[in-house]
Structure formats: structure tokens, C-alpha cells
Amino acid sequence: MNTLNTSTLAALEEMLQNTARSAPPDYMPIYFEGGSNSNQIIGHLNPEFIPYLQESLLKEPIPCLGFGHEALHIASARPIELSGHLGALAERMRLGGFIPGWRNEEFSWLDQNGHEYFRLERAAFRTFGFLSMASHVNGYTKAGKIWLGRRSESKATDPGRLDNLASGGIAADETPLVNARRELWEEAGVPPHIAAQMAPVGRIHMRRPIGGRGFHDEQLYVYDLELTDNFIPTNHDGEVSGFIEISLAEAAARILADEFTSDAAFVTADFILRKHK
């Protein structure tokens, strides 16, 4: 399985044309009065969450949050105050069973100018459909192989699925590069002097509804890293159950067989198409 045929390449190209889907029409928009674009839609609520949220806010309102018939509105406030209000909302949603996989880690919500307006538990970003960020690293060899990790069965999201050599959500106060280097060490045991060789190659905007969860809206910052033929990845944080080194053709076949996480499928497909040109 070493040849990439025309139909496979066409399927990967078609897949990459559909990375960013619109929110379903029955998802409720979330408007934010702050930021560089006042009163913009910054998230979407699964209709399954709305009755619980409406009842909760009716019984005990939270400052800066208002529920209308057609939207949830977030008023502008200082970032530290707004973070507290949204954190209270997320805690209620957690108690209601709408935020699985709570991590006790925070993501930042940034406007189009890169300013941070609030921080929130990372697991809540999907529940509310807020835009998050992640880094993904393609690890490959001169021999034309690509290294892939298999996510641990204990992961809250996509357990057992194939992933890139390293990937991870970009926490508050992290840059994409800092995050990529950290994830390379934690997930694949890549030391700093090797991680320093990776190159930024682009960004992919990923948007899709997640059944029973919410709306996944994320910017994927993509890096390539060439590894020596004798390098063997080693996981340090327990989030990866193992690694495989395979040809690009086999990776493509596994993408089309739906063995990857959605994010990693897009990143790997992009890598395959770039390397095939």
C-alpha cells in the first residue's frame, strides 16, 4: 500500500474543502457585545441544552448573561469579571451533565485582533461553541513515512482513534509554538533540540457539530517535523497508547476508513496532499 491513486487524492481534497461547517439551523447563537466586532456571534448552543440553561438563569440570573427567545447574549465586562460570570455558568452546565471531561484547564477566547476577553474551562468551549485553538505536528521521515499516535482509551474525546505525532489544545497564556513544543515532549518524547527543527506550515479552521455535546470550533496551527529514521516516539503523559510508522498511502486509507480524530484527519490529509505535489 504505497501508491496514492487519483481517486484517493480527490477524496482527500474534497474532505479538506469541508473543514468548516455552519452550525445547524436549530442551534441557538451566542452574541457578545464586546470585542473588536461588537454584538458578534461567538458561539452556538445545542438545542438539547437550552431548556436547562433557560430554567437555570431564570431561577438564578448571572451578571452579563441574558437569555432571549432566539439567542444568549453576553454583555461586555472586564476580562477577569466576564471570566468569573462565564465560569459560574459553566459550573452549572457541568452539574447538569452537559460538560463531560472537565479538565481544570483554561482556554482563552480571543477576538480577531488577538485580544483576550475571557478565560474558561477548556471542556466548556465545545458546549458553548466558542472558538478555541490547538497545535498539530506532523512527524515524518526522509523515507516517506509518517508517525501517528493512537489516543488512549481513557481519553474523554475520541478514545482509541489515530492522531498526529503530537497535538493539543492551546491553553491560556500559551502560544501555538510553545504548545507544540510542550506536546511534542509530553506525547511523543521529542526533546527540545529536535522540536526546534519543526516548521510552521499553515492553519486549518475546523467547525462541526458534535452529537450530544455541542459545537466544535477550532483553529488548528499546523507544523511539520522531520525525524531521523531511527527515532522512536515515546509517550510521557499517558494520553497516547502507542505509535505507528506508516506510508502516506496507508495513512490516506486509514483517513478514508474513519480511523482518525476529525482534526488529525484534516491535518494529515493536508500533509499528504502537500507532500504529493
Say whether pLDDT at 1 is over 70. no
The better pLDDT of the pair 172, 34 is held by 172
* Residue 247: burial class (beta carbons within 10 Å; 0-12, 13-18, 19+): middle
Say whether pLDDT at 35 is over 70. yes
Cell 470585542 sits on residue: 35
How far is it, in rounded angstroms, from Cα 85 to Cα 93?
13
DSSP 80-142: HHHHHHHHHHHHHHHHTT---S--S-EEEEE-TTS-EEEEEEHHHHHHHT-EEEEEEEEEEET
**Backbone phi, psi, residue 80, to 5°:** -70, -35
Say whether pLDDT at 78 is over 80. yes
151-189 pLDDT tens trace: 999 887 889 999 999 999 999 999 999 999 999 999 999
User: Which pairing describes strands 162-163 and 145-151: parallel, antiparallel, or unpaired?
Assistant: antiparallel
C-alpha pair distances (Å), 69 with each of 30, 44, 51, 66, 109? 12, 14, 11, 10, 25
How far is it, in rounded angstroms, from Cα 232 to Cα 165?
11
Cell numbers linked to 103: 479538565
How far is it, in rounded angstroms, from Cα 119 to Cα 181?
22
Q: Is CATH 3.90.79.10 what the domain over 6-20+132-276 is classified as, yes or no? A: yes
The better pLDDT of the pair 5, 2 is held by 5
Q: Is the dihedral angle over the CA atoms 118, 124, 129, 135 positive or is it negative?
A: positive
39-58 pLDDT tens trace: 899 999 999 999 999 999 99
Q: Could you tell me the fold of the domain covering 28-128?
A: Transcription Regulator spoIIAA (3.30.750)
What average pLDDT does the chain have? 94
Angle at the Cα of 151 (from 163 to 187), degrees rounded to 5? Answer: 80
Say whether pLDDT at 93 is over 70. yes
Q: Across residues 79-89, what is the average pLDDT?
A: 98
> Where are the chain's structural domains?
6-20+132-276, 28-128
How far is it, in rounded angstroms, from Cα 198 to Cα 137?
8
Cα–Cα nearest to 184, from 168, 166, 172, 204: 166
* pLDDT at res. 146: 98
* pLDDT at res. 2: 63
For residue 233, the 8-state DSSP code is -
Tell me the percentage of the chain whose pLDDT exceeds 70.
Answer: 99
222-232 pLDDT tens trace: 999 999 999 99
Say whether pLDDT at 249 is over 90. yes
How far is it, in rounded angstroms, from Cα 212 to Cα 117?
27
Tell me the percentage of the chain whose pLDDT exceeds 90.
Answer: 88
* pLDDT at res. 18: 93
Q: Identify the three-state secondary structure at position 46.
A: coil
> Is the pTM here over 0.85, yes or no?
yes
**23 pLDDT tier (thresholds 50, 70, 90):** very high
* pLDDT at res. 74: 97
120-144 pLDDT tens trace: 999 999 999 999 999 999 999 999 9
Cell 461588537 sits on residue: 38
Using an 8 Å Cβ cutoff, are 125 and 106 in contact?
A: no
Q: Across residues 26-45, what is the average pLDDT?
A: 91
Cell numbers linked to 194: 529536535
* pLDDT at res. 3: 78
Residue length, the chain? 277
